[in-house]
Structure 1
Amino acid sequence: FLPLNRTRGIMNSTRLDSLNDALSKNLITFAISLIINFINGYFVYIYFKCRDFQQDPRYVLYIHLVINDMMLLTVSVVLQIMTYTMPVNFTHCCIMLLILVTTNSPLNLAGMAVERYIAVCQPLHHSQICTVRRAYGLIALIWVVSSIAPFTDIIIVLGTQPLSVFSKSIICYMSYVYNTPYHETQSVVLLLSFVLTTLIITYLKVVFTARAVSGSSQTSARNARNTILLHGVQLLICMLSFLSPTINVILLTAWPYDRTKILFGTFLFTNVFPRLLSPFIYGVRDKKFQSHIRRQFCFKCYNSTEKL
C-alpha cells in the first residue's frame, strides 16, 4: 500500500523510544494480549470439553477462527517486543511473517457465512452439505490458499537475494524482508474482495429468505442475517491490519512529532484489540455458549460455597 522507503522511515522510529517508554509499551501490550488470549482460551476450553460443539461444523469453524486469532496475536506481540530488544535472524523473521501475513480469518469468515446461508436457505440439505469432515476439509483448504501469497514472497526473496542474507540479523518488519518491487498487494485486495462479495451475496439471500418465511424460520433467518452482518463488520476490522501502514503515514503526516505514540496506538487498534472480537461477536451472543458459561460459573460458585 506504500512505497518501501516511506515505510522504512516510519518503522525506524521505534528506536526513538526511551527505555521507560519501551518498557511501559511492552508491558501494556503483553498485559492486554494476555487478557485477550485468556478470554479466547476459555472458549477453546469449553469447545473441547463439550462434544456437542465438536460435532457441529459451525462451531468447528468458529473455534478455528478463535485459535487463529490467538496464534496471530501471540506472534505479533512477540515480534513487537523483539523489535524493541534485539535484531532477529532473517530466517526466524521469515517464519514469523509467514504466520502473520496469512489471510485465514477473512476466508474463515466467508466459510462461516456460507454455512449460515445453507442453514437458512437450504435447511433440508444442511446436514448433508455441512458436515464436520467437510468443515475440517475447508479449514485445510483455507490454510493452503492463505499460504500461497506468503510462500510466493519467500520464493521471490530466494530468487532476488543472496543466500547469505538468511544468516543475517535484521529488524523484523515486512518492509525490510520483502524489499523488492515484485511484492505487490493485488493478491490481498483480490482475496478481500472475494470474501466481501461472498458476505454480501449470502446476506442478501438470507434477507430475501427471511421475508418469505414466517414464525420460527423467520427468527432463525433474522439471527443468521445479523450474524452475517457481523461477519462483514469483522472483515472490515480485519482489513485494518493490512491498512495499518497507510494509516500510519496519514497520521504521521499530520502529527510528525508523535511517531512512537502513533505507531503504538495503531498497532493496538489494528493488531491487538480486533482479536477480542470473535468471542464477543459469536461466543457471548450464542445461546449454547451462554448456557455452558453459566453452567461453569454456577458450578464453580457452588464448589466454592461448599468449601466454605
Structure 2
Amino acid sequence: MFLCNRVLQAPQISSMNSSSYGYNVSSVQSQRDSYSTAVAKNVIVLALGLTINYINGTLIHTFRKHQIFYVNPRYILFIHLVVNDMIQLTTTISLFVSSYIFYKINVSLCCFIVTLAVFTTLNTPLNLAVMAVECYIAICLPLRHAKLCTIKRTYILIGCIWAMSAVSTLPDVFIIFATEPVQFFYSKIFCDKNTMFRHPIHLKKRDVSYIIYLVGVWLILFYTYIRIFLAAKDAKAAKSPDGNANKTRNTILLHGFQLLLCMLTYVSPVFNKTLFYWFPKHYLHLIFISYIIIQISPRFVSPIVYGIRDKTFRQHLKKYLLCAARASIKPWTAAKLMLLY
C-alpha cells in the first residue's frame, strides 16, 4: 500500500516484502538512494502533501464559514471526502518520511497508523458512491430530493460509511492480536500494510472485501451515470435551458475517474512487481513515481470536483486562498501610514 524498499538495509524486511509481493528483491538489496536523492524525494512528497492539505483545509474553512454549504447534504458529503483525504494523505506521508528517518518503528504505532490509512482508503469509494446517489436523486427525483436527502440522514450515512469500513478493517487487527505473540507488539518493523497484516487470512479477506466493495461502487456509478445521461438527453431534446443534468453527469464522470485512481491502491502490489521485473535497475525511482501516482494524485481530484468547478464554492474559495497574501500586505501598509504621520 505504501512506498517500500527505497533503502533495503535489513534482510528480514526484504524477505517479508518479497513474500508479500511475490518476487525476490535480493538483487536490489544493494540499491540505496543517495543523500541528495532521499532529500529530494522527501521534499517533493512534503511539498505536495502540504499544498493539497492547505487547499483542503481552506475548503473546510470555507464550508464552516457559510451556511449555504453546511446545510446542503451535497457539500457535507464532499467535505467528509476532503477530511478523509487529508487523514489518508497525512498518514501515508508520515509513513513515507518515517521510513527514511527511522526505517523501523514500533509495531503498536505502526498498527494504529496503517489501520487509520486502511479505514480512509475504504471510505473513499463508499463516499463517492453516496455522492453519486445524491446527484441521481437531485436530477432524476427532484421533487423527493428535499425529503430523502436531509442533513440528519447525511450524517447517518457518513456513520454507515465508517461502520462498513470498520467491518472490513477491524477483523485484521483482531487477527493480529490472536496470532502474534505479545513481544511482537513491542518490537520494531518496517511499517507497511503487507508487513503489518502478514497472516494468510489477511490476504484472502482483503481480496474478497476489495472485490465486493469495488463491484458494488462501480455498479452504483454506472447506474447513476446512465440515468443522469438519459435525463440530460431528454432535457436537450426538450430544449431545456437547465444545464444541471449535464453538469451532474460530468461530476459523475469525475467520480468515476477518482475511483479509477483509488483502485490503483488495490493493484499496487501487482503493479510494483511488474515494475521490478521490467526495470530492476531503476526500481527505487519507479516505486517513488508509483507512490506519487497511487497515493497522492487521487487527492488532487477532490478539490477540483466542487472546489474549482462549483461556482458558489469557487467564489468563496478565492477569497480565503488569498487571505494570507492580504494579511502579509496589511502590516506594511499600516507601517507606512505611521511613518507618514
Q: Same fold (TM over 0.5)?
A: yes
* Cα distance, 1:39 vs structure 2: 1.2
2:70 to 54, 78, 82: 54
CA distance in 2, matches of 1:144, 1:225: 29
The whole-number CA distance in structure 2 between the counterparts of 1:211 and 1:81 is: 49
Instruction: Decide which of 222, 231, 256 is 1:232's aligned counterpart.
Output: 256
Matched, 1:177 2:196: yes
Partner amino acid for 1:29?
A: V
Kept after mapping to 1: 8 A contact 2:23/2:273: no
> Cα–Cα, structure 1 residues 13 and 229, in superposed 2: closer, same or farther, change >3 Å?
farther
Give how far 1:6 is off: 3.4
Match of residue 105 from structure 1:
124
For 1:96-245, what aligned pairs fall within 5 Å after superposition? 96-102=113-119, 103-183=122-202, 184=204, 185-213=207-235, 214=238, 216=240, 218-245=242-269
Mark the CA change 1:211 to 1:301 in structure 2 (over 3 Å): closer, same or farther. same
Measure the CA separation in 2 of the matches of 1:217 and 1:106.
33
Provide the aligned C-alpha RMSD in A. 2.6
Q: Higher Cα Rg: structure 1 or 2?
A: 2
Of 21, 33, 55, which residue of structure 2 is paired with 1:6?
21
Tell me what 2:50 maps to.
34
Alignment check: 8 A CA contact 2:137 2:145 kept = yes
- Structure 1 counterpart of 2:276, one-letter code: L
Q: Return the letter of the residue paired with 1:201.
A: Y
Q: TM-score, normalised by structure 1?
A: 0.92
Alpha-carbon distance in structure 2 between the residues aligned to 1:233 and 1:50:
29
Which of 282, 286, 298 is the matching residue for 1:258?
A: 282
CA distance in 1: counterparts of 2:179 and 2:287, whole angstroms: 30
Q: Which 4+ stretches in 1 moved above 6 angstroms?
A: 297-303
Give the whole-Å Cα distance in 2 for the aligned partners of 1:218 and 1:247.
43
- Aligned mates of 2:113, 2:326 — CA distance in 1: 44
1:43 pairs with 2:38: no
TM-score between the two structures when normalised by the length of structure 2: 0.83
Query: Are 2:33 and 1:22 aligned?
Result: no
Q: Could you tell me how far apart the structure 1 residues matched to 2:167 and 2:99 are?
A: 26
Identical-pair percentage: 35
**Residue 201 of structure 2 aligns to a residue in which SS?**
coil
Count matched residues: 308
SS in 1 for 2:40: helix
State the Cα deviation string for residues 151-201 of structure 1 (Å, max 9, x = none).
Answer: 111111122221221111110012211111112211012101110110000
Give how far 1:20 is off: 2.8
Q: Shift of residue 8 of structure 1?
A: 7.9
Unaligned runs of 5+ in 1: none
Cα–Cα, structure 1 residues 150 and 10, in superposed 2: closer, same or farther, change >3 Å? Answer: farther
Query: Hey, what's the Cα distance between the residues in 1 that align with 2:29 and 2:50?
Result: 26
Matches of 1:299 and 1:167, distance apart in 2: 46
Q: Could you say if the C-alpha distance between residues 234 and 171 of structure 1 is closer, same or farther in structure 2, counting changes exceeding 3 Å?
A: same
Looking at structure 2, the residues matched to 272 and 14 of structure 1 have their Cα atoms a distance apart, in angstroms, of 28
Distance 2:208 2:190 in 1: 25
Contact kept? 1:121, 1:205, Cα under 8 Å: yes
